[in-house]
Structure 1
């Protein structure tokens, strides 16, 4: 296996992949993009905070039309991970309302987005259901 690189800066790869947010040291607000100031309190000091890898589906839509080259359908979602909202796709399940339910438990999962000529893999993330629609794991 070649080298792996995360598709986004806030995806931390390794034995236990996880997301890492920039957390305001004054109020605790979390952001995945780089910030010069906190949108909640205006403070300018941040530190890295690991985000739990399990969460709950809060909102979703099944996308049936996308930019050229983007496979459809897919499930775009908002996941709540202990109070941190994450926008991500639901993966490893059919994009069908029978398989995707508000409140369902999900877990961070990584996958290979592409591989370059040197064998370096770009790694993306999504969230996969913890249980099958029939209640089985």
Structure 2
């Protein structure tokens, strides 16, 4: 039986009905970093607490691409005909901004400050036939939890 697996460990909670991104908060200076890492990028502290980020955020900025990234990229992000795909900077909780794929949007729909919600999307299929899952953000108004 094929299953869904996260693209990387400790990136987001999976499997989960309501997946969350996994960040780290420094015990010394309270800085938050995503993805989770062993040391603080601000002060160099090594006592990092694992913290789940809120599932909703707002679009801070974005860009589009209409070409496949170079190797070793293995994702299937482009639709038939070479459609554009979008990458955004999403602010979460007024505290941290993260880069993410944007899904379920067109260029005409994108606007600064639009509410977004975390979702899980298929990234590619591995040699065993399992779906490798990645996180993305989609418009909050049309979001439904992943049912995979």
Bigger drift between 46-55 and 9-18 goes to 9-18
In the TM superposition, what is the alpha-carbon distance from 1:117 to its structure 2 partner? Answer: 4.4
1:87 counterpart residue number: 99
Residues in 1 aligned to 2:39 and 2:25: alpha-carbon distance in whole angstroms: 11
Which structure shows the higher strand fraction? 1
2:88 to 77, 92, 98: 77
CA 107–70 in structure 1, closer or farther in 2 if over 3 Å, else same: closer
Cα displacement string for residues 54-111 of structure 1 (whole angstroms, at most 9, x for unaligned residues) = 00000111223443576241111100011121100110122x1x21000000000111
Unaligned runs of 5+ in 2: 71-75, 143-148
CA 73–50 in structure 1, closer or farther in 2 if over 3 Å, else same: same
The alignment yields a C-alpha RMSD, in angstroms, of 2.1
TM-score (norm 1): 0.82
1:135 counterpart residue number: none
- In the comparison of the two structures, how many residue pairs are matched? 130
CA 64–4 in structure 1, closer or farther in 2 if over 3 Å, else same: closer
1:20 counterpart residue number: 22
TM-score (norm 2): 0.76
Please give the secondary structure, in 1, of the residue aligned with 2:129.
coil
In the TM superposition, what is the alpha-carbon distance from 1:49 to its structure 2 partner? Answer: 0.4
Runs (4 or more) in structure 1 with deviation over 4 Å come to: none
2:146 counterpart residue number: none
Unaligned runs of 5+ in 1: 133-137
Residues in 1 aligned to 2:41 and 2:124: alpha-carbon distance in whole angstroms: 34
2:145 counterpart residue number: none
1:11 counterpart residue number: 12
